[in-house]
Amino acid sequence: MPLSVTHRFPLRPMRRLHGFSLLIMVMWLAGCAGTPRMQTSDMAGPISEQQDLSIERVLVMNHARDALGTPYKYGGTTPSGMDCSGLTQASFLAAGIDIPRTSQQQFDGLQRIERARPGDLMFFGSGNSVSHVGIYMGNNQMIHAPGSGRQVTLAGLDNRYWRSHYRGAAAPAP
């Protein structure tokens, strides 16, 4: 018997595997296409020396900075405990700016911008839903309330998690 006849491999399962792999790659690329690119504009120097920031932005950022170390509390908006959207709502209220309560309501109700500046909101989630919000502080960092058992903290945005879950930014302050 010739060698080629005894050692034949069926091509159909290999083609199916190749087709399945191709389908997975296309779906993965399509998912990446829906994620906006995180863009920021920073200014040099301490907040108090940044001439281009409005007083409202400075107040928002100072309130958020004062909240560092506050324990996370779902639904909280006070120094005894706050969640991510409670932090953002309280910080903007300290500057006289009323914004919606939840991160999804903030995302849906505020006009989005292309490039975040210090004092802007940054939204994170998956698909069309938003589940997290923070305040951009400049230098590729945000202040946010990360979740149960943790505290309001400063986070670097170079993390792959933030980049892959980024949904957009809004500028409620002038």
Question: Hey, where are the domains in the chain?
Answer: 47-170
Is 32 among the residues known to form the active site?
no
Query: From edge to edge, which strands make up the β-sheet containing 141-144?
Result: 112-113, 166-170, 121-126, 129-138, 141-144, 153-156
Q: What is the reported pTM?
A: 0.77
List for the chain the helix, strand, coil content (%; round to 5). 40, 25, 40
Query: From the candidates 32, 63, 132, 165, which is the catalytic residue?
Result: 132
Is 132 among the residues known to form the active site?
yes
Structure tokens, 158:
């170079």
Spatial contact of 83 and 76, defined as CB atoms under 8 Å apart: yes
Query: From the candidates 18, 32, 63, 84, which is the catalytic residue?
Result: 84
CA-to-CA distance for 170 and 108, rounded, in angstroms? 10
**Which superfamily does 47-170 belong to?**
endopeptidase domain like (from Nostoc punctiforme) (3.90.1720.10)
Give the containing element (helix H, strand E) for 113. Answer: strand 112-113
Per-residue pLDDT of the chain (174 residues; tens, 9 = 90+): 555 555 555 556 555 555 555 545 444 444 444 678 999 887 555 554 556 899 999 999 999 999 999 999 999 999 999 999 999 999 999 999 999 999 999 999 999 999 999 999 999 999 889 999 999 999 999 999 999 999 999 999 999 999 999 999 999 999
